[in-house]
Chain A
Amino acid sequence: MHKPIRSLIRIQLKMQYANAFQKPSVVIGLVFGIIGLLFLAMVFGGYMLQIIDVMYSLLEPSGNTDAILGTLFLMNFFLIFILSLMLIMNTFYFTEDITSFLHLPVHSYQLLIAKSLNPLIYVYLLTAAMYLPVTIFYGTLSGAGFMYYVYVLLLFFLIPTIPYALAAAVVMFAMQFVNKGKNKDRSKVIGGIIGFVLIILLNVVLRLQQDPEQIAQVIADNAEKGGLLQMATLYYPPASLMSHILTTAGSWQSLFYFVIVLLLAIAAGLLFFAAAQKFYMKGALGLNTGSGKVFNGKGLGRKPKSVISAYRAKEIQTIFRTPTFFLQCVAGAFVMPALLVVIFFMGDFASATTMIEGISGSMLFVVILFANVFSVGLNPISIVSFSKDGQSWEAHLFLPLTMRQIVIAKLQAAFLINLLPLTVLFVIAIPVIQMNLWEALIWVVIALLVNSAVTVVGMVSDLLYPKLGWTEETELFQNRLATLMSIIITASAFVFLFALLLILQMSMIFSFIVTVVWISVVIVLLTYIVSRLLKTADRTSLSR
């Protein structure tokens, strides 16, 4: 490997992962993360394999089972392409460290190969999760030989190269126009929102056809007519080549196809190289974060604020002006209610209303409670309460601010931002539940209480596992034990309440009283924990 590339990769690895595994919190987080991924893989994998099983039995009589592999490679291509678009945009253009490399005497392609390390880890993880179980399962169904599995492994390494390189070329080509002289922060926010829309659309597509047998039947019908492989060949020729390699594994023909795929992967590499050399610098050098406007004196005179409201305003300004915080905590806040609607009702309010009408008393109460907890429970705003200050935390140590003022202002800011998803949910709920005034009032009180509890839970989690020493804001939302801790505390606090409400089967009003008492106790207990944690914390790093 070229020496500059090796050095760049080494420095990237050091910056992102050095000492990471020496912290017990990271190791525990990793273990829980792997368990979670395995659980998801089992659920999703089981669903996928069920489809494959049905498809295989439907297609076997006509000898069209290779369509399964063709479909798999086509799906892989699209998913990796979409994932790569988002990852590449972030890694190549929006990370703060990119300017540290631009002055180095290295070629764009060398820098971008090193920068690709992190996105490629995600891309290969996705490929491993999607491709390996299906091909191995297909191999057992078809009684494939040794060479089949050799090609499965070889193709595993080649599959992501083509969509990744294509996505990189598309992004690099587009960014030279999009970002020239434009605001980096704004582009980042727009890119992130497009990402959220894609996630919601993906959920809509998944919701449209949920029955595995139905999906298998549709795909099999198409395959019978030769439609799927044709489609695969038309949109993405390597998909059919790859499926031929596996179905004819062991023959000269498969080796021939493999060489073609290998050449295509090399061509993709060359495309990446050419795009990097020709377009990258034009896009990257055009980025800036300044407004370019000259200050005209507006806002020079301002009414004085109390310490807490000045601090709260500072918190909200920081969240809204930092693209990563804005996307995760504000724009992302709208995603949860939207997903809730998509997942449960697909926007079909009529059937949802019918369903809700059948529910009454404590069950309806549990639905209201669950919807609110789900909407705010996953919003990371309070989980980054302290950590988002990063190195600015030092200023809190020399400014005349008490910890009480800081905690109250941070809780208020998180509480206010968490009101966004709750309001969206409330507005959606009005036509669905057709609430009367009394029910609406209960909803509002519950939403406010849930919001308070979840906000304090997030702060406790952040204080237990703070992360002030970050270089990129995105680090605060990746692999953090604080996030896991927050989910565990929220789940523990509310699962007990849900169980209690379901077991006792009380009327709406008694459910309400039990909930208010329970959540109030939780809030008081957690607030006490916050005060203890702050007393024992080393103020410089907040760690104990």
Chain B
Amino acid sequence: MIQIDHVHKQYGNKKAVSDVSLTVPTGKIFGFLGPNGAGKSTTIKMVTGILPVDSGTITINGKDITSDTIAAKQEFGYVPDSPDLFLRLKGLDYLHFLSDIYGIASDVREARIEEYSKMFSIYEALGDQIKTYSHGMRQKLFITGMLVQQPSVWILDEPMTGLDPKSSYQLKELMRNHAANGNTVFFSSHVLEVVEQLCDEVAIIRKGELLFQGTLPEMRERFQSDDSLEHIFLELTQDA
């Protein structure tokens, strides 16, 4: 479970995130929506410990990301929005590096690397440097890394970007299974169809402020609309 409590973040005079409180429960897929520059990535970066929190608290499975950083980081796996990291490592080296950091046993990692890299069709490229991968392949490698690690909390920033339809479908299935097994899936997306099909709950953020958190039926009820999520989203996020 991820608990975000009255979190603020400011860059200079600009408020990036203002008094956001969110609960991402276990056993559910939670979608985080908002237009560009709304504060989605800043919030995710604070949750993952990349950015320090100005005020408020964030806990992951009860562990505070600010005061109990390493223990909190052990709880989640993260797929960043731009997977341009460790470009000079070979795909396989990256997966082993990650497995060592998270202490995955030798036989377990071997089986998982093989299973998931084959599932996402990157097995044959594991001997190449990440630098030579396409955007989609890098995305798949980072997803594979998270799957090898198998943490209880998944945090994915725009995970479908660059994925081919087959991989996209497989990831959605994995997300469903992971949540169904009592784990947490927290992801941001621009693709509203994906959110609509996949999410048990959503949160919408605009200009750093949380506009809504709840299930899709709750959203329709609250905004008294039978429109598609796209329409509601557009109305909610348009400038006043």
Contacts and interface: CB of A to CB of B under 8 A. Distances in A.
Interface residues of B, number: 47
Contacts of A321: 88-89, 129
Contacts of B85: 391-392, 394-395
Contacts of B51: 540
Interface in A282-314: 288-291, 293-307, 309-311, 313-314
Contact of B92 (A300, A322, A539): A300
Interface in A318-375: 318, 321-322
Interface stretch (B32-40, B120-128, B205-213): B120-128
B104 A304 contact: yes
B86 A392 contact: yes
A295 B50 contact: no
Q: Which of A294, A302, A309, A539 has the most CB of B within 10 A?
A: A302
Q: Which of A305, A317, A401 has the most CB of B within 10 A?
A: A317
B97 interface: yes
A18 interface: no
Given A295-B126, A310-B101, A397-B48, A317 B89 contact: yes
A299 B92 contact: yes
Interface in A243-293: 288-291, 293
A290 B57 CA distance: 44
A402 interface: yes
Contacts of A104: none
B87 A392 contact: yes
A139 B232 CA distance: 81
Contacts of B99: 304
A154 to B, nearest CB: 46
Interface residues of A, number: 40
B127 A295 contact: yes
A310 B123 CA distance: 22
A539 B66 CA distance: 13
Interface in A384-414: 391-392, 394-395, 397-402
A304 B50 contact: no
Interface string B102-123: 1111110110011000000001
B74 interface: yes
B93 A398 contact: no
B106 A304 contact: yes
Interface of A: 288-291, 293-307, 309-311, 313-314, 317-318, 321-322, 391-392, 394-395, 397-402, 539-540
Given A291-B128, A398-B80, A400-B69, 5 more contacts: A291-B127, A295-B128, A304-B99, A314-B86, A400-B71
